[in-house]
């Protein structure tokens, strides 16, 4: 009888150890999954939004920027336009801006992704036959499964 108790005691200890090991492994796997989701951002990549803004600014194409304009986009343009605008208002402001300040070239110099991605670059443009350079700052925010411009500054 004591031999049976020893065996059943060992089985109980082994079962508890296996159970604890299973809990430990499950917790480790969950923690690893959470960490990789944080590292990967677990959302849409921001690079296509960077590329769309780069193309829109390089070509002076407000239509190209239009899908990235949210319900409230902050614009700050060197022509004096500054404030929060609806997507329609921002579109027409940018269209007028590009008509007067025709782009020669544009390229992002720095890009930073993550939860609050942004990029900076140089906008070379021509106004009344004179070439100039302005600094650009573009910030993005996640909107569901896509990215929207939260701020665009051309100074």
List the strands of the sheet with 118-127, edge to edge.
82-85, 69-77, 146-154, 130-143, 118-127, 102-112
Thinking of the domain 47-154, which architecture would CATH place it in?
Answer: Roll (3.10)
**How do 69-77 and 146-154 pair as beta strands?**
parallel
Give the per-residue pLDDT at 3: 60
Query: In this model, does residue 11 exceed pLDDT 50?
Result: yes
List the one residue out of 59, 67, 70, 48 whose CA is nearest residue 119: 48
Segments making up each domain of the chain, as ranges? 1-42, 47-154
Chain mean pLDDT for the chain: 85
Q: What is the pTM of this model?
A: 0.72
Residue 43 confidence class, pLDDT cut points 50, 70, 90: confident
pLDDT one-digit tens code per residue, 127-154: 999 999 999 999 999 999 999 999 999 9
List of residues 6+ apart from 150 with CB closer than 8 A: 70, 73, 74, 139, 140, 141
Give the per-residue pLDDT at 21: 41
pLDDT one-digit tens code per residue, 76-109: 999 999 999 999 999 999 999 999 999 999 999 9
């Amino acid at each position: 009888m004591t031999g049976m108790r020893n065996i059943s005691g060992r089985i109980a200890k082994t079962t508890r150890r296996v159970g604890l090991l299973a809990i430990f492994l499950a917790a480790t796997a969950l923690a690893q999954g959470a960490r990789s989701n944080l590292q990967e951002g677990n959302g849409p990549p921001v690079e296509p939004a960077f590329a769309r803004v780069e193309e829109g600014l390089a070509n002076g194409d407000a239509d190209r920027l239009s899908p990235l304009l949210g319900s409230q986009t902050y614009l700050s343009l060197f022509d004096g336009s500054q404030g929060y605008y609806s997507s329609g208002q921002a579109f027409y402001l940018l269209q007028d801006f590009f008509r007067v300040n025709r782009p020669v070239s544009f390229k992002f110099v720095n890009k930073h992704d993550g939860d609050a991605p942004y990029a900076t670059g140089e906008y070379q443009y021509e106004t009344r036959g004179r070439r100039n350079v302005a600094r650009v700052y573009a910030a993005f925010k996640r909107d569901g499964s896509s990215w929207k411009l939260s701020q665009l500054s051309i100074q």
